Amino acid sequence: MIDEKAARGNIAIVIDSNNLPHIAYLGYQTVHSDSPIDVVYASFNGTIWQTQVVTEGSGKIDLALDSSNNPHITFNDNRNEALMYAQWNGNNWTIQQVDANGRFGSLKLDSKGNPHIAYRVDDVLKYAYFNESNWNTQILDSSRYELLDYQSSLCLDKNDNPHILYGFNTGQTSNSVSTLKYAYLNDYGWKIQTVASNVDIGFGNLALDSYGNPHLTYAKGHPQSTSNHVTITHLSFNGSQWGSDVIANDVMILGYGSAYLTIEANDTVYASYPTYDNSYLVGSLQLAKLTSGMWNTETVVNASTMVGFSPIASDSKGNLHVAYFDVNINSTSHNAYLYYATSTNQLSTIPQSNLFLTALIVLTIATIVSSIVGLLLVSRHRKTSSLKQ
């Protein structure tokens, strides 16, 4: 466990040039959820996790690392909800305002280390970038309907061109379905296209493969199920047309979201998502891998309570890294436990489920018993041999 005072909300995870994880999130100043909320940055140095408070903050958190592995974070100011940008220079944090009315920023750094942010102002999608002296902002899209909270996702391709996934409600109520849009900048200007309609639950992050082609996920209510039983779909562009495949069918998720994606250097696509039982009291973290058009899924973590947001990242060796919340849904407190897991099983803070611990204890006991029995048999054999002599 990294932090027991995490605030329920989104998490951002990024892997540095040494294949070590960095995480940004919101955290309460005390274990009591009525305390002020801070923007918190955590990094793993190969042995232990180190955390530091950036400042008080709120809203959507995003994180990027520059070429020196220094963190850059976007968040909202607690007092006036302005969109803020924080940068660590190796000694201290410098913080500046990007947009007084901006919310829900998605952050990436270009090849020169300059920040690019996609964000919302009321029902308008905006894009801002810093050109080493000031911020430049553009309005990309607007609608008379509501731009979805939290859910815009920015990527930069190898030419530093921005690609943005976002969604609008297509009706007047909170239960209205959504239209997903994909915007990208090329030599001819901004291009915007609709990629999915009637998305009634939510969508995940945008990821680009080695060709610069976009991949995304979204969740729709399962037609034969009620409540939050959904089908999670992966949508991708191959350079000429969009294609889709189902990651998970008839699974139960919580709130508005979908699966998180990461793409390895060899273009292998992975997705992580939390699922729940019908009571919402037990959650599990699922990891899916796309192989030859089929998704293979395994359970990474079984939790005794509820698993929350689960962003995923991959390092240069192909190892996977996941951050997630574990919270008690029956608790009146809003604080959560922040956990981290990796496919390498080499880091000291990997959370272990009750089932895993039980299996480990049983295996350990069995090994000890087997060793004792073996020693007894050897001793007995030696005594018998001595008597025969």
> 343: part of which helix (H) or strand (E)?
none
Q: pLDDT tens digits for 189-225?
A: 999 999 998 887 778 899 999 999 999 999 887 666 5
368: left (phi over 0), alpha (psi -120 to 50) or beta: alpha
Q: pLDDT tens digits for 95-148?
A: 999 999 999 999 999 999 999 999 999 888 999 999 888 999 999 998 756 656
CA gyration radius, the chain: 24
Pairwise CA distance, residues 150 & 74, whole Å: 12
Global confidence as pTM: 0.84
Pairwise CA distance, residues 61 & 175, whole Å: 25
270: left (phi over 0), alpha (psi -120 to 50) or beta: beta
Relative to beta strand 312-314, strand 306-307 is unpaired
What does the DSSP 8-state code read for residue 259?
A: -
Relative to beta strand 202-203, strand 207-208 is unpaired
Helix and strand element counts for the chain (H, E): 1, 30
Confidence of residue 364 (pLDDT cuts 50, 70, 90): very low
pLDDT at 344 over 80: no
Instruction: Please measure the distance between the N-terminal and C-terminal CA atoms of the chain and give it in whole angstroms.
Output: 60
Nearest to 197 by CA among 242, 253, 155: 242
Q: What is the pLDDT of residue 387?
A: 41
Q: Which residue intervals of the chain are DSSP H helices? A: 354-388
pLDDT at 385 over 50: no
- Comparing 93 with 362, the larger pLDDT belongs to 93
